[in-house]
Each structure stands twice: as C-alpha cells, then as structure tokens.
Amino acid sequence: MDMKVAAAAVVILIVVVAGAYVLMSGQAPGAGGGLPDKVRLGVILPLSTASYASAGQEALRGMKMAVEEINANGGVLGRPVELVIRDTKGDPNTAITGATDLITKEKVPIIIGFYSSTVTYASMNAIKNYKPLVFVLGASSVKVEQLVGMERWFFHMHPWDYHRQGTVIEYFLNHMKEVPKKIFVAYEDGVYGTTSYEYFVNLSREKNAPWKVVGEAFKTGSSDFSSVILKAKQENPDVFYIVGYPGDYPVFFRNAKENDFNPKLIFIVAPEFPNYPKDIGDYVAGVDVWSPYLNTPEAKAFVQKFESKFGRAPEYWAPFGYTAIKMVVKAIEDAKSLDKEKLIEALEKVEIKSPLGTVKFKQTGKTLHQVVDRLFVVQWQGGKVAILYPEEYKTGELIYPVPKWSERG
C-alpha cells in the first residue's frame, strides 16, 4: 500500500475513533477543560400536533421560567443557560431524529423532556447505545423502566404505573365511603394506556378488590369516543375510569353528556389542566402528581409567579419542567463541569427545595434515579380543586355519586 495512502487512512481512523469516544463519553466541547461560553441544555417535548402537546407546552413554560431566574442571578458557573429545543410532535420517529440530533450534532451534555411512554420507549431503544445523559419528565409505563431504569445515564421524574395505580386502588378501596362494585376502564391503546390497564387489573386482583373490572381500548386524539361511551353505558359501572391524554378528556365528557351516560363518578389521570373547568365542568375526579392547590410555601410561591406571568394556575408539567432545570443546573454547579460522569455523580447527590417539595433522586422499583413517587387524588368542586388524598393534604370530601347530566346547571 502507498505510504501516503496508509498514513491518511490512519489519520482518518484516529479522527473517527476520537469522535466516537467524545460522542460515547457524552463530553461536549469544553467539557474536559474550559467550559463553553453558554451552558446549552437539550430539551425534547411534544409541542405541536399531538393530543398531548398542551402538556409539552406547559413543561416548556416551567423550564423557561427556571432559566430566566437562573440567568437573572448570573447563570451557572458564570455562564448563561440556553435551551436547545426539539419538538417530537408526539411521533416516535420525529422524537428519535430530534434526540439523535441533540446528541450527535448539538452535543448537549444532557437531554431533558420526553412525555408519552410510547414515544419515550421508542426513543430510548434507538439512542441507548450512545448512553446519553437523559432526564425524562414523563413516561409512566414500566416498559420504559424495564428497558433503561437501571442505567446510570437515565434519570426519571414521573411516577411509574405501580405508583399511580397503587394510589388509585388504595383510594377506591380504603378512602371512599362506598367501595365501587364495577369499574369500567377506557384506556389509550399505546404503551402508556395498555400497561396502566394491566397494572390496574393485576393490582386489583392482588389486593382482593371486590369490584369487577371491564376494559376497552381507544385511539388517543380521536374526535369521537361515542362507541366507547355506549359500551360503558351498557355495562352500567359505578366508576368510569379514563386513562388517556389531555386532549382526549373533553371529547369523552362531551360524548358522555350527549349519550346521557351517568356513572356515579368519572375518574381520569391528571385532572388539573387549567381549561378543564370550562371543557369538562365540575365533579370530575382523578389522580395527579401535583396540585396548584397544595398549601406549601414552595408550591404557593411557584403558583404566584406562574399566575403573574400567564394569568392562570399551572398544571403539573410546569413545576416538573421548572424543577428539572433547577436540579440539572445545581448538578452542573456542584460538578463544575459538563463531563457526563461528573454530572451523573453530582445529580445523584442533588437535593433541593422545589414546588414539588424537597426533591432528590432515589432508587425505586427497578429505577436507579427516581424523583416523584407520591400522588394525589383530587376532584373539581365549584370551579376549584379539592384534594381528597393523602390525608395530610386533604382539603375536601369526595362528592359521590355525582349529579346526573340532567341535574347540572
């Protein structure tokens, strides 16, 4: 072989290997020595198209609030923080492309965000060989936990299926004056809904719950759920439990009213989106991971700031996004570096006060780094939320059975 060609080949090989090392080690330019002029954090969320884009938009509002506060106080290590944002559009392929771009092109030290279990599962599967440092805000399906929960580079905010369904069953079984005899579960047919339904059925059986469970899958984002409503009406359940996304619930309630479907209670996941009083009305109950009605100093301060900025109360994705940025920036401050291993070590030790309470990463189930594992049961009453469970946060009693549609104003 020609010596010049051989020498060129060796140079190319060295460059390729060096580049692969930088990529696999997660080091952005300047991470090993001096820091870059700006600390750029990767963000990937559903911001358009998807039925749950409102949640992604809310999380981004919280993130931007945190960045504004941090930069107003000098940034981190004397550098301003900047968000490098990608929109998943609720589509797995778009999310994979966006996440890969943040890793390989933008070379951000960490990616914060994700939302649905289906999209997150596909994304983690596609990018796990890079071993990127990620802080996933959403994704409650244990399929995601089983895939990456024990990876040191994976950090997780949202409760898992077993946290949520355990809370729901505990409330139905031990905190309602009248235990339901039949529960109809309508669940979205993706990873999130199907694993939620499976957990609810299996945990009900493990707890020897006296109710009968009937289930029906649906396609999230549909414009009409009358067929599901009519099947539920035929079953005549005490509780109609919907496991879906924000855009699904107003459609379900409209169809329930149109078809005069009157269960004793309609129960949903994450019932505190600010437009629900207008779109759904009173009496809807559900399980949530946070409430703007919590009477804690940090929650009240965050709600006041959010209301002054946006003219309404926040939904829980706002404090999720806000808290995630604060935890990551604290880790960067403590590590004094953007090096992946140093950031992982710093994140594992982070503990801060936040709107969610005092937060830190802890091991739970099959997850090395979990933040939230406590949930609340709430109900809309008179245009405000009453917290029903846990007892130490309780502000009201469950209205059950709820008035029929014909009896409401």
**What integer is the mean pLDDT of 379-399?**
95
pLDDT at 32 over 70: no
- Name the packing angle between helices 297-310 and 317-335 (round to 10°): 110
**What integer is the mean pLDDT of 188-198?**
96
Q: Identical fold at 7-159+300-370 and 162-288+375-407?
A: yes
Q: What is the per-residue pLDDT across 230-257, written as a single tens digit (0 to 9) for each?
A: 999 999 999 999 999 989 999 999 999 9
Measured CA to CA, the distance from residue 269 to residue 244 in angstroms comes to 7
Domain ranges of the chain: 7-159+300-370, 162-288+375-407
CATH superfamily label, 162-288+375-407: Response regulator (3.40.50.2300)
Q: How many CA atoms lie within 13 A of 110 on its CB side?
A: 32
Give φ, ψ of 122 to 5 degrees: -60, -40
Measured CA to CA, the distance from residue 184 to residue 217 in angstroms comes to 11
- Report which of 161, 163, 203 is spatially closest to residue 183, judged by C-alpha positions: 203
Q: How confident is the model at residue 51 (pLDDT cuts 50, 70, 90)?
A: confident
Q: What is the per-residue pLDDT across 311-326, written as a single tens digit (0 to 9) for each?
A: 999 999 999 999 999 9
Q: What is the per-residue pLDDT across 100-123, written as a single tens digit (0 to 9) for each?
A: 999 999 999 999 999 999 999 999
Q: What pLDDT score was predicted for residue 376?
A: 97
Q: What pLDDT score was predicted for residue 18?
A: 38
Q: How confident is the model at residue 281 (pLDDT cuts 50, 70, 90)?
A: confident
Q: Side chain identity at 13, as an amino acid letter?
A: L
Query: Which fold, 7-159+300-370?
Result: Rossmann fold (3.40.50)
More confident residue, 408 or 134: 134
Q: Answer for the pair 293, 395: CB distance below 8 angstroms, yes or no.
A: yes
pLDDT at 23 over 50: no
Bond before 274 cis per omega within 30 degrees = no
Q: How confident is the model at residue 50 (pLDDT cuts 50, 70, 90)?
A: confident
pLDDT at 283 over 70: yes
Q: What pLDDT score was predicted for residue 9?
A: 37
- Report which of 18, 25, 37, 14 is spatially closest to residue 107, judged by C-alpha positions: 25
Q: What pLDDT score was predicted for residue 275?
A: 76
Measured CA to CA, the distance from residue 270 to residue 223 in angstroms comes to 20
Q: What pLDDT score was predicted for residue 12?
A: 37
Q: How confident is the model at residue 24 (pLDDT cuts 50, 70, 90)?
A: very low
Measured CA to CA, the distance from residue 151 to residue 376 in angstroms comes to 28
Q: What pLDDT score was predicted for residue 296?
A: 93
pTM, whole model, 2 decimals? 0.88
What is the average pLDDT value for the chain, to the nearest integer? 91
- Report which of 120, 163, 82 is spatially closest to residue 370, judged by C-alpha positions: 163
Q: What is the per-residue pLDDT across 324-349, written as a single tens digit (0 to 9) for each?
A: 999 999 999 999 999 999 999 999 99
Measured CA to CA, the distance from residue 331 to residue 322 in angstroms comes to 15
Pairing of strands 182-188, 239-243: parallel
Share of the chain above pLDDT 70, in %: 91
Order of all β-strands in the sheet with 384-389: 212-218, 182-188, 239-243, 265-269, 285-288, 376-381, 384-389
